[in-house]
Chains A and B, each alone.
Chain A
Amino acid sequence: MKLHSQSQENSDDKIIWQQFLSGDVAAFEKLMSIHFRTLFHYGCKFSKDQEFVKDSIQDLFMHLWEKRNRLNAEAVVKPYLLASLRRLMHRSASSKSWVGEGQPENAAEVFDLEFSVEEQYIDTESTLVRTRQLEKLLLELPKRQKEVIYLKFFQELTREQISEIMAVSPQTVSNLLQIAIKQLKKHWKAEFLTFFVIHLFI
């Protein structure tokens, strides 16, 4: 069912996308409305300046409209939009620092995730500790691994789509993902074991 609804989403996207390419303003407005929140969430990982993120999304759509004649009619919409926003933000962040204004933190160098632990879903203390530990480990991951984890598990994108967004090969995506998960599991076990041992002795 999940898979069904996703492909349903995709085909809706595709219809709107092609209407937009033929110059339909209403379809274009719909396209922007549907994807705005996802793009905003993704963009905020690269910059804390929410207004900059909003401006970037606006710029992105203005560019899309201008070059609609040259866009690929078969593009998979969501990954394409995410990829375009990523490129645009990295480009404008580097030109910002080139001009000498803007923050020293380069958008290309951060990928900020923020988690919270909702305790009502947890019934044992050991699970709570495990969850907190996992949160810490996630935040410590290098930024590219974090981004892969985000796109894979929180945006539910495929390996190929992630590779398009991050402009790396699908193999690199798999590698990054594997390293990240290995890291999360390995440390987690070790930490959990120490915690457990300490508890035994207390």
Chain B
Amino acid sequence: MDRYQNFTVEDFVWDSFFRQWVLSPTSETDKIWQEWLEKNPESRLKTEQAEGIVRALRLNEPQISDPEITRIVKETMGRIETAEKYPSFEEPATQRKVHHFPWLRAAASIAFLLISAWIIYSLSNKKAAPEIAVNAPIIARQAGLIEKLNASQKPMTVVLEDGSKITLAANGRIRYANKFVAAKREVYLEGEAFFDIAKDPERPFFVYSNGLITKVLGTSFTIKAYGNSNEVTVEVKTGRVSVFPESDPALNQKTSSPELQGVVLRPNQKIIYSREEVRMVKTLVEKPEMVVAKAEIPQFEFEDTPASEVFDTVGKAYGIEILYDEELLKDCPLTATLENQTLHEKLFIICKAVESDYEILDGQIVIHSKGCKN
């Protein structure tokens, strides 16, 4: 402590140990300084001045609230998750950057075409129908099922005794009971099929496919469960569908309850279930369609309409939840006619106009906006 004897006020101000004592004193540092000041009373005036300066000179840091930090952290985690689980939904940040390099986009398209071609080629080479992949124990319990296989290249429609229609894609195969017993309607699927299920809340309809159970009350949806793939996708067109893996510990309770439990999908949402890693990713179907009746389809003509209202109109028409910050968007007026575009085109145009971005997160659309200052 001897070196402090000849310190000036400004020396104290820029001394780390002194600052530490002033700004966050502890019993130890306080004892050291008090003892020193008792032995060096002539320095007291200087340390008092220096103390005032250290305390008074505040560095102004920009403010950011805890909820805002939490929001950004959660968003980042979501992006990491989507990027890992479903690489085609990479973080918008990269997508944004890609727009600056048209050749990159071209290269990406070519790569995509090549990969698609390869997938189609390898799929068509596996013409020999693979072993049915539905869960063995369940099959064993249900002897005497009807089996339908679509060996043609055209879609094949099967009508069940309850009036439900199942349209099988090429190589699609289903098994079901000739007459549904008791409180359940059950179908085993391998391959791809579109389901239009007759409404019967008393008897929920179950589809078993590659380890995933889809439970519906009355609705239409598509399931893709190819025997040679570990993934199952379920895309909902109308109504609500709930899905859960066969490995779900609460399986009995979920299948027997009259309500829809597990992950509930709404129209235009889609789930990708991967059996190997037991995880489900909820997202949107590639080309969402409007869910409201033809007569109720809104005009999509906006004149000086707040962006928040525009998002509400679009979200309602497609039955998709669009999340946005109301405070930020209320001052963003939009004038546009958006009648003939797909959902993604509509969103792209709206976002462009109000300087926002959008992202698909957990089967919903999240708008990232900075607000409109002008």
Contact = CB atoms under 8 A, between A and B. Distances in A.
Contacts of A83: none
Interface residues of B, number: 42
B49 interface: yes
A55 B79 CA distance: 13
Contacts, number: 116
B73 A33 contact: yes
B29 A118 contact: no
B82 to A, nearest CB: 11
B70 A121 contact: no
A10 to B, nearest CB: 16
Interface string A134-158: 1100100000000000101110100
Given A44-B62, A50-B62, A181 B28 contact: no
Contacts of A37: 64, 69
B80 interface: yes
A9 to B, nearest CB: 13
Determine chain A's interface SS by DSSP, over half rule: helix
A110 interface: no
B53 interface: yes
Interface string A93-124: 00000010000000000000111111111111
A61 B28 CA distance: 38
Interface string B1-37: 0000000111101101001100010111100000000
A182 to B, nearest CB: 10
A138 B53 CA distance: 13
Q: Is the interface of B mostly helix, strand, loop or mixed?
A: helix
A62 B62 contact: no
B64 A40 contact: yes
Given A1-B26, A127-B53, A184-B10, A29 B77 contact: yes
Contact of A2 (B29, B52, B70, B370): B29
Contacts of A1: 26-29
Contacts of B9: 130
B279 interface: no
A41 B69 CA distance: 12
B339 interface: no
B106 interface: no
Contacts of A25: 77, 80-81
12 contacts: A32-B76, A36-B69, A37-B64, A44-B62, A57-B72, A65-B80, A115-B60, A130-B49, A131-B52, A153-B19, A154-B59, A185-B14
Interface of B: 8-11, 13-14, 16, 19-20, 24, 26-29, 49, 51-53, 55-62, 64, 69-70, 72-73, 75-77, 79-81, 83, 91, 93, 100, 370
